[in-house]
Amino acid sequence: MKTPLIDPFARPISYLRVSVTDRCDFRCVYCMSENMTFLPKKELLTLEELDRMCSTFIGLGVEKLRITGGEPLVRKGIMTFFHAMTRHLESGTLKELTLTTNGSQLERYADELYAAGVRRINISLDTLDEQKFADITRWGRLPQVLKGIEAAKKAGLRVKINTVALKGFNEDELFTLTEWCQREEMDLTFIEVMPMGDIGNEDRLDQYWPLKDLRTTLAERYTLTDLAHRTGGPARYVRLEETGQQIGFITPLTHNFCESCNRVRLTCTGELFMCLGQEDNADLRAPLRLHPDSDAPLEEAIRAAIKLKPKGHDFDYDRQSVGGKMTRHMSHTGG
């Protein structure tokens, strides 16, 4: 066993999030501008390079691999990559292979994902109103996503819904979404909108709904009990005593969750971001391509990057401005 990855603050790095494409079939208003310019395909890591990159991280102690995008399932041939990762699950070196998706392609791929060893997925869904869904995704169709969710559950996948809390948009659906997830036996996590990239005419401050306010509203109907449960990600969980369901809160702005961070993010072009909320990154594509017959230079580059992992991010909203804003879009880094 090689020496595991430990950052400067004694946090072991065991979780890798990998964006396999910056492309998406939606244009969510908090994530992308309507007319996005996507990366040339030649700049993206090939599926074989993604395999080698992820396998190297797994060899250095990464136990959880989450595939993201953009929308990962729109990447041509992506199931080849998922099936390739199955060997690490079978060997026991990889504990979990999962993905975050908008659900649009799940009706097509749910059974194959399960066959590749995926057991749990996150689906991004911010409203159950068909017109509002079309408005916020610009290009999306809610019935297609709901069919995908049904297909995922039928295939045996455990589904968690991720909902971005948006002021003036889905505040009135807080209880509707909660009750729907209870009926469908799905977990639910709310996320504060993050200042990532230029999104055109949308105003970050207008979108921002602090989760402490959401939680206060939720407590008007339910008894909330804080849980010590963690899944390796940034969410903090509560149990609704009246229903027994678990609700997560990801609060990069009202609560900095960085003290226990165990993850890094790899972009589809081979950049490693040690923190979602910092611009520092390391180029791993160069050592990967310059040394096709040896992983040693890539391992060295990974270890050097981990030594630069910061203590935390600087996301902040005050009454007048957005602090810590990133120039890159979430679809580039991986959602």
C-alpha 100/C-alpha 28 separation (Å) is 15
Query: Token pair for residue 123?
Result: 């689906």
Binding-site annotation, residues for GTP = 17, 66, 100, 160, 263-265
List helix spans (H) across 60-129.
78-91, 106-115
User: What b/e string do you get for 257-268 counting C-beta neighbours within 10 Å, with b at 16 or more?
Assistant: bbeebbbbbbbb
298, 53 contact by CB (below 8 A): yes
264, 273 contact by CB (below 8 A): yes
Q: Please, which residues have CB within 8 angstroms of residue 158's CB and are 6 or more apart in sequence? A: 119, 120, 121, 187
DSSP bridge partners of 254: none
**DSSP class of 166:** B
C-alpha 165/C-alpha 250 separation (Å) is 10
**DSSP class of 28:** -
Binding-site annotation, residues for S-adenosyl-L-methionine = 30, 70, 124, 194
Binding-site annotation, residues = 17, 24, 28, 30-31, 66, 70, 100, 124, 160, 194, 258, 261, 263-265, 275
The verdict on whether omega for the bond into residue 70 sits within 30 degrees of 0, i.e. cis, is yes
DSSP string, 204-262: HHHHB--HHHHHHHHTTTS-EEEE----SSS-EEEEETTT--EEEEE-TTTS--GGG--
Give the position of tokens 């081979």. 270
Binding-site annotation, residues for [4Fe-4S] cluster = 24, 28, 31, 258, 261, 275
